[in-house]
Structure 1
Amino acid sequence: MAISVPLDGEGFLVNRDDWNEDLARELAQTDDFEMTDQVMDLIRAARASYDDDGVVPPIRIFAKKSGVSTKELYNIFKKGPMKLICKWGGLPKPTGCV
């Protein structure tokens, strides 16, 4: 399946406005990840936080705001939860502790 919008070298959206939930599912699928309602809820929460603050929240703050533990995020995503949430959510690549 070919993604029909421009991505950077790491698979992040070039244009944030290209994002939609179907695209999020496609991006996750290219990473061999099955999108769940819980993951989509986390992506929506990260997007809302980004819209409010203009930055991707650090994982500890995001976990607290989302009502999940950092450990739960790692159980769901295995590695780099914020990186994947941002990648699939059409947000900029997070910096710092992800």
Structure 2
Amino acid sequence: MKSLNTDQHGHLQNRQDWNQQVAQQLADTDHIILTDDHWALIRAVQDLFDETGDTPPMRLLIKVLRQRLDPAIDSRHLYRLYPDGPVRLASKHAGLPKPKHCM
């Protein structure tokens, strides 16, 4: 297991350190097994971050996921993937900073 340089919340300090293996390692620390649905969410969060320079709030994330992936996606779907906080954990596993709007 590679030693990761993270902040006090477990988010990578340097996004350039991110890759799929690192994402899996971060997910392992949260006891999450990444599925195809997790990876789609991770990629969407990364894309939104690249487009806006910030992690998306839940409502914007759902709107974008509905447009890009599946019109049926809702907050329940995201909470099934990440029961302890979809935006925070998806951002963490995507190698992004802790969202400003998350506790």
Which segments of structure 1 move beyond 3 Å, counting only runs of 4 or more?
none
Q: Which residue number corresponds to residue 63 of structure 1?
A: 62
- Corresponding letter in the other structure for 2:34: M
- Report the RMSD for the aligned CA atoms in angstroms: 1.4
Q: Which residue number corresponds to residue 75 of structure 1?
A: 80
Q: Which residue number corresponds to residue 92 of structure 2?
A: 87
> 1:49-82 CA deviation, whole Å, 9 max, x = no partner?
1001101111111011112211211122112110
TM-score, with normalisation over the residues of structure 2? Answer: 0.86
The gaps in structure 1 that reach 5 residues or longer are: none
SS at structure 2 position matched to 1:91: coil
SS at structure 1 position matched to 2:4: coil
Query: Counterparts of 1:32 and 1:15 in 2: how far apart (Å)?
Result: 22
Q: How many residues align?
A: 97
SS at structure 1 position matched to 2:80: helix
Query: Counterparts of 2:47 and 2:27 in 1: how far apart (Å)?
Result: 19
The gaps in structure 2 that reach 5 residues or longer are: 67-72
Query: Counterparts of 2:85 and 2:100 in 1: how far apart (Å)?
Result: 11
Q: Percent same amino acid at aligned positions?
A: 39
Shift in Å at residue 3 of structure 1? 3.8
1:49 paired with 2:54, answer: no
TM-score, with normalisation over the residues of structure 1? Answer: 0.90
